Amino acid sequence: MARSRKVTVSTDTHGHTSGWAETDAAPPAPDPTAAAFFDVDNTMMQGASIYWFARGLAARNYFTTGDLLRFAWQQLRFRVLATEHAGDMSQAKETALAFIEGWRVDDVERLAEEIFDELMAPRIWAGTRRLAQGHLDAGERVWLVSAAPVEIGRIIAARLGLSGAIGTVAEVADGAYTGRLVGDLMHGPAKAEAVTQLAAVEGLDLSRCTAYSDSSNDLPMLSTVGRGVAVNPDSVLLREARQRGWEVRDFRTGRRAVKIAVPSTAAAGLVAGAVTAGLALHRRRHRGS
């Protein structure tokens, strides 16, 4: 095992530096039972990954800027009015991935890689990235957990050097998406269930694991692990974190409006609605040309 050099500084009773010594210090031993789980939107990344994916598609003329603006307004209204009810999520499940029906999986992954490099990478919160790296340096695995399609999460995880991603899964047949979901949206309690299932498969001790999120929607996931951390928290999560004594990290540098300026995905259905409409227009235009 490689050993690192550690510098220690000693001081006298008055606080003056009296000398220093160099010692060998072994890196921490990997802990196979510990892991960290990071929400993506507004936790690991400024804004919503599916929003930036949609912007990348718009730039490639898959749909119009007007469609994107309508989507942004829907997201803002959803966030501000907190209109998430059972009916909203039911509709979200029906339409969440309809926009990629018939698309080849390899094409979506290629687009996701391109759009990450162009639009998402500059919006990764440096502070959250350091938190993730700290877990990696401690020999722990780090997973992203997002309501976005798992393919997008997997690309982000790979680009950041993380262990993997949990996300909404689309049904695939003959290498193409059917437009239907496999299971539920990776949202709210579903995240906690997925983390618990992954822990069982990977031999993790959830009491030794950490979860990070900005949203009160992720309280089930944050409560499932031994250590919950609120990152760039919304007001409900901030209040809950203070009551529970959870650590709070805020990397927004005072610009709390950033979560309004850049939409977040409280429900994937609002994303899919705008993208679906845009792609329908795109297909009609191409059929008419």
Give the model's pLDDT for residue 194. 96
Over range 218-225, report the average pLDDT: 97
Is 39 an annotated catalytic residue? yes
| pLDDT of 24 | 52
Cα–Cα distances in Å, from 143 out to 103, 154, 183? Answer: 26, 9, 20
Q: Is residue 273 pLDDT above 60, yes or no? A: no
- Active-site residue flag, 41: yes
User: Which of the pair, 279 or 28, is modelled with greater confidence?
Assistant: 28
Residue 223 token pair: 């409560």
Contacts of 39 (CB under 8 A, 6+ apart): 144, 145, 146, 191, 211, 212, 213, 214, 215, 218, 221, 231
Identified catalytic residue from 12, 24, 31, 41: 41
Span 125-153, pLDDT tens digits: 999 999 999 999 999 999 999 988 899 99
**Which band of pLDDT confidence, cut at 50, 70 and 90, is reported for residue 36?**
very high
- Highest mean pLDDT pick, 60-64, 205-209, 250-254: 205-209
- Residue 65: burial class (beta carbons within 10 Å; 0-12, 13-18, 19+): exposed
What local confidence, expressed as pLDDT, does residue 189 receive?
A: 93
Contact at 8 Å (CB) between 135 and 160? no
Lowest mean pLDDT among 1-15, 73-87, 137-151, 181-195: 1-15
Count the residues in the chain. Answer: 289
The single residue of 24, 39, 88, 107 carrying the catalytic annotation is: 39
